[in-house]
A = this chain, B = another copy of it.
Amino acid sequence: MTSTLSLGLPMPVPEPDLPSQVRIYEVGPRDGLQAEPTAVPVEVKAELVRRLVAAGLTAVELTSFVNARRVPQLADARQLVGLVDLGSGVRHPVLVPNARGLEDALAAGVREVAVFGSVTESFSQANLGASRADVAAAQAAVTEEALAAGVAVRGYLSMVFGDPWEGPVPVAEVVAAATALAETGVGSISLGDTIGVATPGHVRAVVRALVDAGIPVERLALHAHDTYGQALTNVHAALLEGVTEFDASAGGVGGCPFALSATGNLATEDLVWMLTGLGIDTGVDLSALVATSTWLAGHLGRPTVSRVATALAPHLTQPDSPQARTET
């Protein structure tokens, strides 16, 4: 793909012993938009998904089949899925909280779902409205049904590092929750630093403990939030432990609408910049991605929090011109 950047990309200088390939799991349309105060029309969401795919992202989480009264930003879940090309070879998971959500997702033709639970009891009660044990049991049932229907399943764990009510989360509790989740048959297990308090040693300790407990590192993903500016550094720490899948959000939009201080997903652009600098191929066209998050920022009525997008956007050649669009 042709780059429209007038400034260069970083010089690739590999770091010893890092993975050579990394999967970026884009959560902007779901985790990003569900936390934004500005509601975005479903046509804009569909265009966002198309642009993200055109920019080279190969896994773009679409939406969540949740109770529309609980997350009104995602009330258009079924409609959005209908507007997206599900047969393009790109993964388009949707979040499902329960059997009803799975039923709706299957009816909409979704080929991959994501289930979620909490390591901590407090967040489970506050966010999911049930004990973590009950949530895990419901999650296992949903996963079993999805797999039986031939649909892939991804597993999220929230509050892996710290919890706004309970403070630091013991690694043993993460191991217990992740091991139970792994046994249900999910593919990747995404470790959520929901309130952004993780630091690199903590990330490495958790990944090591999970690998020691028998979960292959290939099944682990990191979902880092940038609340305290640590997200990219935590990705670096996880890379050093061999983790190869990272959640990020174009333009850094979003967070978690229920968790205190859970603002700011890791910006996909900043992640792509680092990986490019490390010589790790992502397949993502950074200029197309920056053009996309700049365009999205216009719809959200606020500037992007991505440092890369902020730095590069002024240098893009008319990001919304037909020429630039063709190049994506």
Query: From residue A202, how far is it (CB to closest CB) to chain B in Å?
Result: 4
Query: From residue A13, how far is it (CB to closest CB) to chain B in Å?
Result: 4
Kindly state whether residue A15 has any CB partner on chain B within 8 Å. Answer: yes
Q: A200-B278, A274-B200 are in contact. Are A264 and B307 (CB under 8 A)?
A: yes
Say yes or no: A279 contacts B10, CB within 8 Å: no
Say yes or no: A274 contacts B13, CB within 8 Å: no
Say yes or no: B306 contacts A162, CB within 8 Å: no
Say yes or no: A228 contacts B311, CB within 8 Å: yes
Provide the bound-state CA to CA distance between A295 and B16, in Å: 42
Query: From residue A250, how far is it (CB to closest CB) to chain B in Å?
Result: 14
- Could you say which of B230, B263, B267 contacts A270, with CB atoms under 8 Å apart? B230
Say yes or no: B308 contacts A228, CB within 8 Å: yes
- Interface residue tally for chain A (C-beta within 8 Å): 50
Q: Which residues of B lie under 8 Å from residue A196 when comparing CB positions? A: 311
- Could you say which of B10, B261, B269 contacts A202, with CB atoms under 8 Å apart? B10
State how many copies of this chain the complex holds.
2
Kindly state whether residue A184 has any CB partner on chain B within 8 Å. Answer: no
Query: Contact mask A1-34 → B, CB, 8 Å, 1/0?
Result: 0000001101111111010000000000000000
Kindly state whether residue A237 has any CB partner on chain B within 8 Å. Answer: yes
Kindly state whether residue A167 has any CB partner on chain B within 8 Å. Answer: yes
Query: From residue A184, how far is it (CB to closest CB) to chain B in Å?
Result: 28
Q: Which residues of B lie under 8 Å from residue A12 when comparing CB positions? A: 201
Say yes or no: A10 contacts B197, CB within 8 Å: yes
Say yes or no: B230 contacts A274, CB within 8 Å: yes
Say yes or no: B200 contacts A311, CB within 8 Å: no
Kindly state whether residue A91 has any CB partner on chain B within 8 Å. Answer: no
Kindly state whether residue A223 has any CB partner on chain B within 8 Å. Answer: no
Provide the bound-state CA to CA distance between A101 and B279, in Å: 43
Say yes or no: B274 contacts A15, CB within 8 Å: no
Say yes or no: A227 contacts B307, CB within 8 Å: yes
Q: Which residues of B lie under 8 Å from residue A197 when comparing CB positions? A: 8, 10-11, 277
Q: Which residues of B lie under 8 Å from residue A18 when comparing CB positions? A: 201
The residue among A15, A196, A264, A279 with the most chain B CB atoms within 10 A of its own CB is A15
Q: Which residues of B lie under 8 Å from residue A237 when comparing CB positions? A: 15, 236
Task: Identify 20 new A-B residue pairs, CB closer than 8 A, beyond the known A10-B162, A232-B233, A236-B237.
Answer: A10-B197, A10-B228, A11-B202, A12-B201, A13-B205, A14-B201, A198-B277, A200-B274, A201-B279, A228-B307, A228-B308, A228-B311, A229-B308, A230-B270, A230-B274, A230-B307, A232-B232, A233-B235, A233-B274, A263-B311
Q: Give me 10 A-to-B residue pairs in the complex whose CB atoms sit less than 8 angstroms apart, sorted by A's number.
A: A10-B162, A15-B201, A199-B276, A201-B277, A227-B311, A228-B273, A228-B308, A233-B235, A236-B236, A236-B237
